[in-house]
Amino acid sequence: MKKATIQKYGDLDVIKLIETETPTLTKKQVLVKVKAAALNPKDILVRKGKFKQLTGRKFPQGIGYDFAGIIEDGNGHSFKKGDKVFGMVNGMQGRCCAQFVNVDVNELYKMPDNLSFEAAAGIPLAGQTALQAIRDKGQLSKGQKICINGASGGVGTLAIQVAKELGGIITTISSDKNLAFCKSFGAAETLSYNQINILDSKNKFDIFFDVFGNYNYQKVAKILTPKGKYITTVPKAAIVKEQFFNLFRKKKASMVVVKSNKADLKWFYDKIVANKIQAVVDGVFPLEDIQKAQKYIESKRAKGKVILIT
Ligand SMILES: NC(=O)c1ccc[n+]([C@@H]2O[C@H](COP(=O)([O-])OP(=O)(O)OC[C@H]3O[C@@H](n4cnc5c(N)ncnc54)[C@H](OP(=O)(O)O)[C@@H]3O)[C@@H](O)[C@H]2O)c1
């Protein structure tokens, strides 16, 4: 089968498509014929060696964490050959940018029938990140105010929709050109970082979800309600310290670390089939053009998700 790999840590030129064996399965895994896989900033960070301690020094390494496809081998589990599924593999061993992927049966779910494979592939990682940040870390309740920074990207566009489903009143921060785009997913207020500094806001937020990760708790605290929460996606030293100081104050700071699971994939399945949440695809590239697709993600200008088809 064809599989995208990195041959060492580095720039785009370390990416290489190779021919390799179809993966073997552990008892817990099923084999999926991948139809589409999503790109994520994690792919770029791993390629550049930013998580070396977790990804090790053995090469080649696979690429990609979320996918949509068809069951090739159900391996004794409830899925049968031909079932459409979508999911995300946990851990640091990316491998979904390939023609087949071995996936723990708890890390996938049946795919919503009203989506294409390309659209479905973009949901699992970005969507579960948004859900686990806003519902679990933030515990957003109906009528609460949430500000989403970096609202037009892969995680952001789903975060707006998740917050809306949970009953939040949403403010988004994006560039000028994406104001209407953010509005279209249900934001009540759309602000541009080209025009305003959110830290000057008179509004107070119950949650500030820093998807883009260029703020920190210390800066944001003054625009949080007395029990407000700052949640980031970006693992920086400051957030570890701030999580410790949570013990001594009412306002809280935390970081989301996405973990794929059946229940959360089902949450998206249900919302998507009910047409409550839509997938947002910016671009679709053939697997052979993975370098071009990663270059686009690296520009940090993606509107929604960038997808590869195998
Ligand atoms: N911890 C976790 O488990 C986890 C999981 C998923 C993602 N993440 C992290 O979350 C971050 C976002 O991921 P993503 O998939 O949403 O990325 P993405 O799709 O590549 O984000 C692109 C978006 O970033 C926006 N952006 C660029 N500069 C900005 C700025 N200065 N202020 C606000 N927005 C800006 C762009 O909007 P404009 O063009 O309008 O500026 C664009 O729409 C990444 O750092 C990723 O590594 C972490």
Task: Determine which residue's CA is closest to atom 22 belonging to ligand 1.
Answer: 153
In a domain, 266, yes or no: no
Residue 102 and residue 198 share a domain: no
Residue 249 and residue 134 share a domain: yes
Task: Determine which residue's CA is closest to atom 21 belonging to ligand 1.
Answer: 153
Residue 190 and residue 116 share a domain: no
DSSP result, 60-121: SEE--SEEEEEEEE-TTSS--TT-EEEEE--SS----SBSEEEEEGGGEEEPPTTS-HHHHH
The CATH number assigned to the domain holding 292 equals 3.90.180.10
The CATH number assigned to the domain holding 219 equals 3.40.50.720
Looking from the CA of residue 174, the nearest atom of ligand 1 is 40
In a domain, 63, yes or no: yes
**For 22-34, how does the pLDDT look when each residue is reduced to its tens digit (9 = 90+)?**
999 999 999 999 9
Domain that holds residue 74: 2-123+279-309
Residues lining ligand 1, judged by CB closer than 6 Å? 40-42, 125-126, 129, 149-150, 152-156, 173-175, 178, 193, 211-214, 233-234, 256-258, 297, 300-303
Kindly tell me the sign of the dihedral angle through the C-alpha atoms of 271, 131, 91, 51. Answer: positive
Residue from 175, 191, 196, 305 whose mutation best tests the ligand 1 pocket (most atoms within 8 A of CB): 175
Residue 109 and residue 57 share a domain: yes
In a domain, 269, yes or no: no
In a domain, 262, yes or no: no
Q: How far is the CA of 300 from the centre of ligand 1 (A)?
A: 7
In a domain, 273, yes or no: no
Residue 175 and residue 66 share a domain: no
Residue 135 and residue 59 share a domain: no
pLDDT grade for 99, boundaries at 50, 70 and 90: very high
pTM of the model: 0.98
Q: How many domains does the chain have?
A: 2
pLDDT grade for 6, boundaries at 50, 70 and 90: very high
In a domain, 263, yes or no: no
**For 100-133, how does the pLDDT look when each residue is reduced to its tens digit (9 = 90+)?**
999 999 999 999 999 999 999 999 999 999 999 9
- Residue 159 pLDDT: 99
Task: Determine which residue's CA is closest to atom 2 belonging to ligand 1.
Answer: 257
Kind of pairing, strands 169-174 and 189-192?
Answer: parallel
Task: Determine which residue's CA is closest to atom 47 belonging to ligand 1.
Answer: 41
**For 247-261, how does the pLDDT look when each residue is reduced to its tens digit (9 = 90+)?**
999 999 999 999 999
**For 59-94, how does the pLDDT look when each residue is reduced to its tens digit (9 = 90+)?**
999 999 999 999 999 999 999 999 999 999 999 999
Q: How far is the CA of 160 from the centre of ligand 1 (A)?
A: 13
Q: How far is the CA of 211 from the centre of ligand 1 (A)?
A: 6
